[in-house]
Amino acid sequence: MTPDQLITFSVVAELLNISQAARQLHLSQPAVSGQLQALQQSFGEPLYHRHGRGIQLTPAGRELLEIALRVRQAMLEARELKRVSQALEHGLLRLGASTTPASYLLPGLVAGFRRTFPGVSVQMFTGNSQQVLERIGDLDLVFVEGELDEQTLAEHRIRDWRQDEVVAIVRRDHPLCTSPATTLRRLASEFLVMREQGSGVRRMILDCFASHDLPLPEYLELAGVEGVKEGVRAGLGVGFVSNLSLSHEDGSLAGIRIGKGLNRTIRIVEPGGRTLARTAAMFLERLETPETDSTLNPEQRGETRSADVSPAD
């Protein structure tokens, strides 16, 4: 007994005529008769009798018709759901993003996606890189920057998306604003304002100091990009943020390139072990990948000073 057999039976039982049912189902009459015979054999007793040019249901056939009609309705609803889903008339897109892509790259892309597919709800979980990756099982796509651990690389599908640069930030009245060169060695004598544990920026800065055998200066730890900025504005010291986060600054802060630049890649992580949701697949297709992006070149905006030296010199 199969759903197709029950659907065919429901149409025949409603019309009480095999030929008419075959035309409605766009099947040949032998094909319809074959499905009815297979259904009767599976059911174990007659469901109808020939009656003139049509058929007449048996008591068992009338009982089965009620069930067959529910099956047919369920299949119609399933097909409609498939059509609506493929057209993205409704659905859910669950994104996870670390601070930089969540604040400075994704809002415009999500807005454009919602204008095209207003019936799709978008949820976004934000946090530092570690926090977002810990939630990957609940998300459709994850956007994080920097290096990924071996487990993440092994278990999930990774693609490079955008390039980013981490810069030092100081107040406009800080002596570094007039310094001809800014290096990690110079920054090692400053009091620093650092991101919290799990931040990709924090990990990158700590790795840079360690790889150049430089002592890490005293620092204050603050949560989030805006926390670091406020600490720097208050005169606490030198902070580190994505250059993208300076795009809407009021001029009170200056971004300073470290050496030839501390560059990193923002990556898209697709959760492994499951098929990508259609909403997520459509969002990926619509992601813009411009050949050039001025937000990644600090000197084009005149916001970030540069020294053509290695980070540790």
- CATH architecture type of domain 91-305: 3-Layer(aba) Sandwich (3.40)
Mean of pLDDT values over 143-155: 90
**Chain Cα centroid distance, residue 46:** 54
**Ordered alpha helix ranges (H), 44-127:** 59-86, 99-104, 106-116
- Listed in order, the ranges of the chain carrying CATH 1.10.10.10 are 3-86
| Backbone φ, ψ for residue 216 (5° rounding) | -80, 125
What whole-number percentage of the chain has pLDDT above 90?
63
pLDDT tens-digit profile of 226-242? 999 999 999 999 999 99
pLDDT of residue 78: 86
Residue type, 146: G
Lowest pLDDT segment from 53-67, 79-93, 192-206, 247-261: 79-93
pLDDT of residue 82: 74
Q: What SS3 class is residue 56?
A: strand
Whether the full predicted model's pTM is greater than 0.95, yes or no, is: no
pLDDT tens-digit profile of 116-141? 889 899 999 999 999 999 999 999 99
Statement: residue 309 has pLDDT above 60:
no
CA distance to 108, 159, 295, per residue, from 125 (Å): 16, 20, 24
pLDDT of residue 260: 86
| pLDDT grade for 201, boundaries at 50, 70 and 90 | very high
- Listed in order, the ranges of the chain carrying CATH 3.40.190.290 are 91-305
| DSSP result, 221-237 | E-SHHHHHHHHHHTT--
Mean of pLDDT values over 11-15: 91
Check: CATH 3.40.50.970 for 3-86?
A: no
Virtual torsion, Cα 73, 78, 80, 81, nearest 10 deg: 140
What whole-number percentage of the chain has pLDDT above 70?
89
